[in-house]
Amino acid sequence: MDTKAEEFQKLRSLLSLKRHEVPPPGYFNHFADRVIAGIEEMEVLSKDSLWEWLRSRLDIRPLLACGFSVALCGAIFSGLVISQDASFLVQHGFSPHDSDAGGSAGIRVVHDRSMASSEFHTGSWGPSGVSSLAPVISSSAFLSRFGPRGQRAIFFP
């Protein structure tokens, strides 16, 4: 279609008028500055919008944070209770290794800890140590302190 270029020669000459249309004097002197300012503004806005997003997320966080802190307090309290129980056993000479004398992980039902610890020390359960199949059952001291629900299972690996 370039062969038909002559057909449109006058039109192209007329279109050359467009090349003479110019923006106001000095327009391009600060064009780049305006672009750079626009870029910096956009960067600030994007940072601001990120901050806004974070804040909006935090607005609904208190519920989650509250739930999390309640769960955390519960875990800490449970940990304290368990550690107190463990220290009670240790104070009375109970050692987790003693319970494993049967050679396998076991479950021992302990009702009277003071009695159980004295039996461990005296070796009254026999020379082979404590059998996991022979639970120590006593009631008096423990029941008097915790009642019938004081019976608990102690797990040892």
Q: Please give the residue ranges that form the binding site for other proteins (CB under 8 A).
A: 1-2, 4, 8, 10-24, 27-28, 31-36, 38-40, 42
Distance CA 97, CA 102 (A): 10
Residue closer to other proteins by CB (options 24, 147) is: 24
Residue closer to other proteins by CB (options 33, 59) is: 33
Beta carbon of residue 155, minimum distance to other proteins (angstroms, whole number): 57
Beta carbon of residue 56, minimum distance to other proteins (angstroms, whole number): 23
Beta carbon of residue 53, minimum distance to other proteins (angstroms, whole number): 18
Beta carbon of residue 37, minimum distance to other proteins (angstroms, whole number): 9
C-beta contacts of 129-132 below 8 A and 24+ residues apart = 129/98, 129/101, 129/102, 130/98, 130/99, 130/101, 130/102, 131/101, 131/102, 132/99, 132/102, 132/104, 132/106, 132/107, 132/108
Residue closer to other proteins by CB (options 7, 59) is: 7
Residue closer to other proteins by CB (options 37, 86) is: 37
Contacts of 115 (CB under 8 A, 6+ apart): 136, 138, 141
